Amino acid sequence: MNHHGQQKINRAFKIGMLINLVFVIVEATIGFTANSLSLIADAGHNLSDVLGLLVAWVALILSQRTRDNYRTYGYKRSSILAALFNAVFLLIAVGGILLEAFQRLGNVQPVQENSVMLVAGVGILINGFTAFLFMKDQAHDLNVRGAFLHMAADTLVSVGVVVAAFIIKFTNWYWLDPVISIAIAVIIFVGTWRLLKESLDLSLDAVPKSVNYTEVEKFILQQPTVKSIHDLHIWALSTTENALTVHIIRENLDNYNQFIEELDHQLTENFPLNHVTMQIELGKITDESVSHSI
């Protein structure tokens, strides 16, 4: 990510945290006053989003820190941990919403529909705008995607709250308030599961979904003088950077430096790879093996 891109994302996090924190205070206050579970649940989820945004933002800042002799990759992996944290936190929030909703089903209470619709309507605008700030960058950064999913989920919750309050206003179906909360919680869970799985995979050094392992392997084997390869490993250094290491067995060591430079360039140009390390070996693993790292 270039400097301009970093400034843009940093600004998005600051704006998102500020407007959502203000909204949480207002929404929670009116939720308790209006006796609306869905509104209180929405405020609680918004609060979790503020924390989620904070974690993702801190991870972004840490990932930009310079490496040292102790942390040779710097803090790049903190963005993966932040994505994992956000996924877990979202699931905890879902559990809280479901618990309260099922309790409320056994003790249905009236709500102040107009106040609920007004606050939730504002929530749609705020959450939708915040999600929009992350929409473009979430496609190629799992950490930012975690923040985006938080805000997109909140937008969905707010829409559900408005729909429930509108129907209750004309039908007095007060049971609809917790039922809508349950439905929204299920939808959020489904959307969060993918984030949890992918962030957990990256934390365990699985091949990132953006990289096709088989295609990379095939690409290297197609290079002139390459007989075979072994110990091909591809993993994520962060939510935006991927690394590769491989042992390449060649028929000869002709044009050694040129071969290394060209293959490194082609790998980073054709695949989403940022750090490539290759060990070149002659014929088979012998004392004549030569190593070179980039």
Domain ranges of the chain: 3-203, 213-292
State the pLDDT at residue 293: 40
* Residue closest to 154 by CA, chosen among 129, 177, 133, 175: 129
| Mean pLDDT for back-to-back runs of 10 residues, the chain (294 residues) | 65 86 84 73 73 82 80 83 84 83 79 78 87 80 79 81 85 84 82 85 90 94 91 90 93 86 93 92 57 43
What's the pTM value of the predicted model, to 2 decimals? 0.71
As assigned by CATH, the class of the 213-292 domain is alpha beta
| CA–CA dist 264, 138 (Å, integer) | 27
State the pLDDT at residue 265: 93
Residue 58 near residue 147 (C-beta atoms within 8 A): no
Measured CA angle at 135 (ends 2, 10), to 5 deg: 45
State the pLDDT at residue 213: 95
State the pLDDT at residue 283: 78
Token code pair at residue 127: 């959450």
Fold match between 3-203 and 213-292? no
As assigned by CATH, the class of the 3-203 domain is mainly alpha
Residue 181 near residue 41 (C-beta atoms within 8 A): yes
* Residue closest to 213 by CA, chosen among 231, 197, 196: 231
Rg, the chain, Cα only: 25
